[in-house]
Structure formats: C-alpha cells, structure tokens
Structure 1
Amino acid sequence: MSISNPPQVLLFDVFGTVVEWRTCVTQALLTAAQKALSDPQKTLSPEVRTQATSMTNQDWLAIAEEWRRSYGHFTQTFDPAQQPFISVDEHHYRAIHAILKARQLDSLFTDAERWELALIWHRLEPWQDSVQGLHLLNRKFRTCTLSNGNVSLQQDLMRHGSLPFTDIASAEHFGAYKPSPRVYLGAVGKFGLQPQQCAMVAAHLHDLKAAKALGLQTVYVARHLEETAEVDLDEAAEVGQGRREGYVDMWVELGAGGFVEVARRFGISAE
C-alpha cells in the first residue's frame, strides 16, 4: 500500500502515535503514591496505607491502562449535540478520581494532587523516532497535530518533547471529539484544502477508518499495544480487519522505523 498522490498536510494523532503513555503515566502514578506515603503531614488510614504500600508497578500500570480506556470511551461516545464540551484535562481529573475511589484509594491524594495527576498527560515522552521523523517530514509537508487533547495539553507536549510540529489543531477547536467528522473536516478547513489533500497519521485504525470515510488519505504507524489501548479488542483481529477493508493507504509495521520510515516512503532521506 502506498500514497501515489502526496498530500500537502499531515495530520497527526498524538496520544500513542507521537508520544508513549504507558511508561510515563505508570511511573508518575507510582512516584506520586510514594510521595504521598512518605508525607508526614498526611493522615492515611492503616487500610489505605497498607494497600498503597503493597501496590507494584504492574498494579499502577493497570490503573494507567484503565485510565486510558476511560479516555477512549469518553471521546468515542461524546455527543456535542447532547453534552456541553468537556476538556480532556477535565475528563482525566474526573476519571482518575473515580478509578482511585473504586479501589478505596481516593484518600491517598488531595484534590489538588488529583489535578496534578491529571496533568501527567502533559508530560509524555515521544517515541524514539518521533522528533527526527517530524523534522524530516517538515521538509516537504506542513505537520499538524489533530488530537482529542486540549490545546494547552498539546502545547505542553510539544515543549516537553521538543516536537517540531508546524501547526496545532485540537478537538477543542471544533467542540467535538474524534471520530466526529467535525474534527477531521475542521482541520482540513483550517488549511483551506480538500480532504484528499490531507493525510491522517495514526497508530489507531478506528481513527484512520473515520478519516478515510471523509476522503482523507491515511497512514498507519504501528505502535506497541496501541490497538488494544482504548477499547477491549483482539489486536491481531483488528489489524487483520483493517488490512482486509483497505482503508489504510500507507502501512508502517511495528519496528520498521515509525515516522522516519514514513518520510522515507515520501522520498525524504534521513541522510
């Protein structure tokens, strides 16, 4: 699969596609818990202290993954016709509170500390190829975020990871969340282009399927475990279905070089 008529703008999903979240969020949760447990000013019940002390890295990873799934459910079911717009930051705050409460761990953190946890998602690390690949792609294209993350979140990720996007577009600009057509077409309209003049780059096939249905070109960059990150899916089955349905124009396999390989296929050399 390849793109025979190169686009003018590349639109990038961010969470999971450009930045890695599992390691970053898990470590931040673990660090916050250790800080809370060692704080002499905190009054924690013996039950909460015992439970939090016994939790392993895998336990915090499970919380990070549940948190991520809650984001996927929130964005995929959000109906702008029926609900006032809620930012991803607000969702992350509400979700971590609910997740901790379900585990009887909500008293481990103050409300201010839960908000600080929600901002973990502003400090995620790029995948190894992201910065180099974007620099290469900038030689030929405008590169623009198209994330469900709010604008300030994306700005912080760009600063934190030195991500050289030429432009930012956020679901927040359009009052809806992907996979709403309003988001994809809003980003296309931002550049005064037609859908086929833009390509969506993502590690999530449902994102690409929605973009393709609106006429955008599509680039799939496989990232470790991302097809199972947002909803409970059999990853192999999802990938197989994506190949059969043919809505991906360029397919970059896991371990093939990520964005650097995308650049190579567009004729941009890393030399």
Structure 2
Amino acid sequence: MTLSPTPRALLFDVFGTCVNWRKTVVSTLHAQAHESLNAATKSLASRLRMRVSDMTMDHWGQFAQQWRECYKTSTRDHAHDPSQPWVSVDDIHLTSLKHLIAKWDIEGLWDAEEIIFLSLVWHRLEPWEDSAIGVELLNQLFATCTLSNGNLSLLSDLRTHSGILFTHLFSAEEFGTYKPSSKVYLGAVNKLGIQPNQCVMVAAHLGDLKAAKSNGLQAIYVERPGEEDWGTGEVERARQDGWVDLWVGLGEGSKGFITVAEKLGVGESLQA
C-alpha cells in the first residue's frame, strides 16, 4: 500500500481514463458517414458527397477532437460560472455536434434523427483493455465510484456497455455543476459518508487530480495515450513535485488499473 491513510473509496474519471472515447467516436463517425454515402434512400448533393468521400480517418479524428474540446469548454465554463443555466452533457454533445456539422460544411449528411443517435455515441464507448478487470479486482477492497461530468443516464449505459462494474455511479449532474468545482469532489465524498483523505481520485488528467487534491482527496494518475492536456514540462514538474500519490505511466509493463490494484495490495490482501 502506497497511500496514507488507507483509502476506502476510489473515484474514477471516466472519459479517457476508463474508456477509449477517441477510438469509438472516430470509428463511429467514419462508419456513419459511409453508411449515409452508400444509402440508396439518401439523395446527397454532389458537392457534399465529394466532400465527405474525401474525408479520411484523420479528418474524423480531428472532428472528434473538436467535439471533445466543445465538451471541455462548456463544462469548464459552467464550473467557473455556476449561475449559467444547467445543461446536461448529452445536450452539450448534441448542440456541439450540430455546430461542428455546420462548421465542417457537411450539413445534409445525416437527418435530425440520425444526428441525435450519433450524439449518443458517448453512451457506447469501449473500455480500455484493463478497465473492467482492474475495477473488478479493486472492488474486492474498495468502493469504486464514477466521478464524471457525464450525466447519470450516460454513466449507467456506459457501465452496462463496457462491463466496468463500479459499485457506485456519481455524476456532476447530482451536484449542479461540473468538475473542477469543489462541489463535485466534496459532494461525492459526502454521499459516501467518509473523509476526503479516505477517497482517491483516479484519472488520466492531471488537472482533474490537482483539483481533487486541493479538496483533500488523494490522487492516482493512470496515463492513457493522447489524454493528457498538460504539456510535457508541466507533466514532468508534477511528477517531480510528488503531489500525485501513485503514478502509473505507460510502458514498463504497466497494465493500467490492474497495476493500480497490484500497487494497492489487492493480491496480497486476498492471499493473507
């Protein structure tokens, strides 16, 4: 065990930390675009057909990243100004998808019903390979809880789709704001009925962990490909400063959440 005091609950960021949103979203955008191009019942303008036909997986990757940035901006703005009207992540995803369709000049590729279905791809994200088994291992010693900006219906669908069997689902929706607001971190702690330092935030984003740490939680960093917003220098300084209680990087035989379970003594506890 490397954490002190011994934690009772692990709180997990979800997008990027538990699920590989980029892979699922990009492949779905690409597939749905080609389904529309090949649909006998659709009458697409020649200019639109040519434009979409020229879009590669890299283009859809850029589209997906912009979609993700729209979500980040909207939730961050609300966290800093809670007087703004509440908007769920599902609504943010739908509104920003419509905006990007216009920005990329591909209006007409999907009808209104198809756009709504596509906006809900965030309910169907695939997990990282270690996520389900890692959480299953951690469930043997700890409460495992989502602590995500995603709304509760989204998180419930993700738990079913991914097979990651969290013991609790906590959403920023329950606290009327978004991370990195203190209300989210401390709201989850209060629902568990324990002290902040008995909870550990697990995330692939140092900004999320920094906010959790400032509210008295412990912090575990699990690096995921392409997920960190901080620059290389900032990441290295964070590692050297030592405020992250457990750092699980890429490489060196790392197995993500399985490594977290090993570091937290799950196997040792079961053998004892």
Q: What TM-score do the two structures reach when normalised by structure 2? A: 0.94
SS at 2:266's partner residue?
Answer: coil
Indicate whether 1:251 and 2:247 are aligned: yes
The answer to whether the aligner puts 1:141 opposite 2:137 as a matched pair is no
Distance 2:69 2:94 in 1: 14
The count of aligned residue pairs is 266
Distance 1:83 1:185 in 2: 21
Corresponding residue for 2:23?
23
Match of 2:69 in 1: 69
Alignment of 1:173 onto 2:171: no
The one of 222, 236, 241 equivalent to 1:240 is 236
- The one-letter amino acid paired with 2:262 is R
Partner of 2:12: 12
Secondary structure class of the residue paired with 1:247: coil
Could you say which residue in structure 2 is the equivalent of 1:132? 133
How far has the Cα of 1:50 moved from its partner? 0.4
Q: Is the 8 A contact 1:6 1:266 kept in 2?
A: no
For each residue in 1:222-266, what CA deviation from the matched residue of structure 2 results, as whole angstroms up to 9, or x when unmatched? Answer: 1011014xxxx53x1231132244321111111311111111111
Instruction: Name the counterpart of 1:225.
Output: 226
Amino acid in structure 2 at the alignment position of 1:128: E
Contact 2:196–2:217, Cα closer than 8 Å, also in 1: yes
| Within-5 A mapping of 1:96-135 | 96-135=97-136
Instruction: Give ranges in structure 1 of 5+ residues lacking alignment.
Output: none
Find the residue that maps to 2:117 and give its secondary structure. helix
- Residue of structure 2 equivalent to 1:45: 45
Asked if structure 2 preserves the Cα contact closer than 8 Å seen for 1:36 and 1:109, the reply is yes
2:264 matched residue in structure 1: 266
2:215 aligns with 214
Residue 162 of structure 2 is matched in structure 1 by 161
Cα deviation for residue 5 of structure 1 reads 2.0
User: Which residue identity is paired with 1:183?
Assistant: V
- The structure-2 alpha-carbon separation of the partners of 1:147 and 1:61, relative to structure 1 and needing over 3 Å to count, comes to same
Residue type matched to 1:262 in 2? V
Check the 8 A contact 1:208/1:219 in 2, yes or no. yes
Identity of aligned residues (%): 47
CA distance in 1, matches of 2:107, 2:170: 34
Kept after mapping to 2: 8 A contact 1:222/1:254: yes
Task: Give the SS at the match of 2:210.
Answer: helix
Amino acid at match of 2:235: V
Q: Structure 2: give runs of 5+ residues left out of the alignment.
A: none
